[in-house]
């Protein structure tokens, strides 16, 4: 099926149809969700995390339910869970508008979390958390501002829970760029904050954690094996040029003996007086040795990993803490967004006054599906069916919402 040709055949000129093509293709590929989607891309994107943008203003409206009077992320997760686990309470106190916005919010969080992979957290995960915390104080009372994340001490990690029943199973590693971390500690004498989204082995369940590391904490807890090990080597005189010999003396200093061409960099043992500059200087020396490894006898394959990881023992301690979330806890809460949970939730809400919104959404879904079929087949009777479905949707929306607001 070539949608582009079909649309170009029935609409002239082609200009302006790209968005329509993209919309229809996304609808044709869309699987059954807990509630029907409408004609918009997901509002959870980079723009919605930036203050002042239209996307940000739109999404803030959806989030009023969970943000009001809840300055911490664990409190906001609790509000989402109230919507998920206590529908009768929400039905009793909430308006149709609030229920609708809550469903949209939960669906967007679910869709984005499902798409996230450990190596792809990036802007998507940051935006989700931005919406939940709104740059407010986190559970450890550290200021979190996602928009200036590059200059702040804040990082989101999306990890996948391992099968802990296996003998060789270990908790997923918390890692990152060594130089970026050290550069932060060099600029700012502050703690570095982590928010961890741990994807359960059961699809649709997510655990949220947080912890912070001061520079001394980092020295105590980080692993970078190649960085910490001592380095020994020697450069045979015939491998040196005059320039490279002088460069070894300049860069390595006391770690290089120009009398016998021996290189010795002792093992790294952090102390209370260790500074970020000490770590960066050692890193610079080891990267220089990596660059010149072919000159160094017996070290032709030497390489230095630039990624650190947090000690497994510390990570295990964090992930095994599922105490009741509150101020100062590392466990922030859990979201159960499995398909069956949301489908059951929908049925519960449909039995109440908020079920009106589902009638409108179901009608809209019929409109979308018939429109998809029209563009795929170009049958006139399907086009007329689409118009009928759209009119039904319009009438229901007007009767249930617009006229209700007028009275």
Which of the two residues, 199 and 354, has the higher pLDDT score? 199
Instruction: Report if residue 39 sits inside a domain.
Output: no
**Whether residue 168 sits in one domain with residue 102:** yes
Q: Return the pLDDT at 247.
A: 96
Main-chain dihedrals φ then ψ at residue 168, nearest 5 degrees: -95, 15
Q: Return the pLDDT at 89.
A: 73
Q: 3-state SS string over 194-259? A: EEEEEECCCCCEEEEEEEEECHHHHHHHEECHHHHCCEEEECCHHHCCHHHHHHHHHHHHHHEECC
* Distance separating alpha carbons of residues 207 and 196, to the nearest angstrom: 8
Q: How confident is the model over 119-132, as pLDDT tens digits?
A: 444 455 555 565 55
* Distance separating alpha carbons of residues 215 and 56, to the nearest angstrom: 34
pLDDT at 292 over 50: yes
**Whether residue 214 sits in one domain with residue 130:** yes
Q: How confident is the model over 315-340, as pLDDT tens digits?
A: 888 888 888 898 888 998 998 988 88
The domain in which residue 241 lies consists of 226-302
Q: How many residues does the chain have?
A: 407
Beta bridge partners of residue 184, listed in sequence order: none
pLDDT at 149 over 50: no
Terminal alpha carbon distance of the chain: 48
Q: Return the pLDDT at 223.
A: 87
Q: Which of 4-13, 164-173, 179-188 has the lowest mean pLDDT?
A: 4-13
CA neighbor of 124 nearest in space, from 111, 143, 137, 107: 111
Instruction: Report if residue 295 sits inside a domain.
Output: yes
Instruction: Report if residue 402 sits inside a domain.
Output: yes
**Whether residue 202 sits in one domain with residue 177:** yes
Instruction: Report if residue 36 sits inside a domain.
Output: no
**Whether residue 336 sits in one domain with residue 292:** no
Instruction: Report if residue 336 sits inside a domain.
Output: yes
pLDDT at 160 over 50: yes
CA neighbor of 126 nearest in space, from 195, 70, 174, 178: 195
Residues 208/306, Cβ–Cβ less than 8 Å = no
Query: How does the average pLDDT of the chain come out, rounded?
Result: 74
Q: How confident is the model over 15-32, as pLDDT tens digits?
A: 444 544 454 445 444 444
CA-to-CA separations, 120 to 126, 136, 161, 180, 353, in angstroms, rounded: 11, 24, 16, 18, 40
**Whether residue 365 sits in one domain with residue 319:** no
The encoded tokens of residue 151 equal: 């200059």
CA neighbor of 154 nearest in space, from 116, 197, 191, 128: 191
Residues 10/378, Cβ–Cβ less than 8 Å = yes
> pLDDT class for 114, splitting at 50, 70, 90?
confident
Q: Given the DSSP bridges, would you call strands 256-257 and 262-265 parallel, antiparallel or unpaired?
A: antiparallel
Instruction: Report if residue 37 sits inside a domain.
Output: no
pLDDT at 359 over 70: yes
* Distance separating alpha carbons of residues 81 and 65, to the nearest angstrom: 12
Q: Which of 17-26, 89-98, 185-194 has the lowest mean pLDDT?
A: 17-26
Q: Return the pLDDT at 119.
A: 46
Q: How confident is the model over 34-65, as pLDDT tens digits?
A: 444 433 334 444 455 455 666 556 555 656 65
**Whether residue 81 sits in one domain with residue 216:** yes
Helix or strand run (H / E) with residue 336 = strand 331-336
Q: Return the pLDDT at 347.
A: 76
> pLDDT class for 9, splitting at 50, 70, 90?
low
Q: Return the pLDDT at 267.
A: 94
**Whether residue 381 sits in one domain with residue 249:** no
Instruction: Report if residue 9 sits inside a domain.
Output: yes
Instruction: Report if residue 118 sits inside a domain.
Output: yes
Q: Return the pLDDT at 82.
A: 81
**Whether residue 95 sits in one domain with residue 205:** yes
Helix or strand run (H / E) with residue 6 = helix 3-10
**Whether residue 66 sits in one domain with residue 116:** yes
* Distance separating alpha carbons of residues 207 and 389, to the nearest angstrom: 41
* Distance separating alpha carbons of residues 337 and 81, to the nearest angstrom: 10
**Whether residue 254 sits in one domain with residue 203:** no
Number of structural domains (the chain) is 4
**Whether residue 295 sits in one domain with residue 234:** yes
Q: Return the pLDDT at 58.
A: 58
**Whether residue 170 sits in one domain with residue 52:** yes
Q: What's the whole-model pTM score?
A: 0.69
Which of the two residues, 169 and 178, has the higher pLDDT score? 178
* Distance separating alpha carbons of residues 96 and 183, to the nearest angstrom: 49
């Amino acid at each position: 099926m070539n949608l582009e040709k079909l649309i170009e055949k029935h609409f002239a000129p082609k200009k302006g149809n790209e968005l329509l093509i993209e919309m229809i293709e996304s609808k044709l590929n869309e699987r059954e969700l807990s509630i029907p989607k409408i004609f918009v891309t997901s509002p959870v994107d980079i723009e919605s995390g930036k203050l002042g943008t239209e996307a940000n203003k739109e999404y803030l409206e959806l989030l009023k339910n969970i943000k009001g009077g809840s300055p911490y992320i664990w409190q906001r997760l609790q509000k989402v869970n109230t919507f998920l686990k206590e529908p009768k309470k929400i039905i009793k106190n909430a308006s149709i508008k609030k229920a609708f916005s809550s469903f949209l919010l939960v669906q967007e969080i679910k869709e984005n979390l499902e798409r996230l992979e450990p190596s792809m957290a990036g802007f998507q995960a940051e935006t989700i958390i931005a919406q939940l915390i709104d740059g407010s104080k986190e559970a450890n009372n550290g200021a979190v501002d996602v928009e200036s994340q590059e200059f702040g001490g804040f990082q989101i990690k999306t990890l996948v829970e391992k099968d802990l029943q296996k003998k060789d199973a270990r908790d997923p590693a918390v890692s990152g760029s060594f130089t970026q971390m050290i550069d932060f500690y060099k600029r700012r004498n502050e703690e570095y904050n982590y928010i961890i989204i741990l994807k359960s082995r059961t699809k649709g369940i997510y655990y949220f954690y947080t912890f912070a590391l001061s520079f001394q904490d980092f020295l105590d807890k980080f692993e970078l094996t190649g960085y910490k090990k001592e380095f020994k080597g020697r450069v045979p005189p015939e491998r040196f040029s005059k320039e490279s010999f002088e460069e070894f003396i300049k860069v390595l200093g006391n770690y290089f003996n120009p009398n016998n061409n021996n290189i010795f960099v002792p093992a790294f043992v952090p102390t209370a007086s260790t500074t970020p500059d000490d770590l960066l200087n050692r890193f610079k020396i080891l990267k220089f040795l990596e660059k010149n490894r072919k000159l160094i006898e017996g070290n032709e394959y030497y390489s230095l990993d630039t990624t650190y990881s947090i000690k497994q023992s510390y990570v295990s301690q964090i992930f095994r803490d599922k105490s009741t979330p509150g101020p100062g806890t590392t466990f922030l809460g859990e979201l159960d967004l499995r398909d069956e949970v949301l489908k059951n939730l929908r049925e519960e809400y449909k039995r109440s006054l908020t079920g009106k919104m589902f009638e409108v959404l179901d009608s809209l879904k019929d409109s979308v599906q018939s429109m998809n079929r029209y563009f795929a087949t170009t049958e006139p009777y399907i086009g007329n069916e689409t118009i009928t479905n759209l009119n039904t949707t319009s009438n229901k929306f007007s009767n249930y919402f617009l006229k209700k607001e007028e009275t």
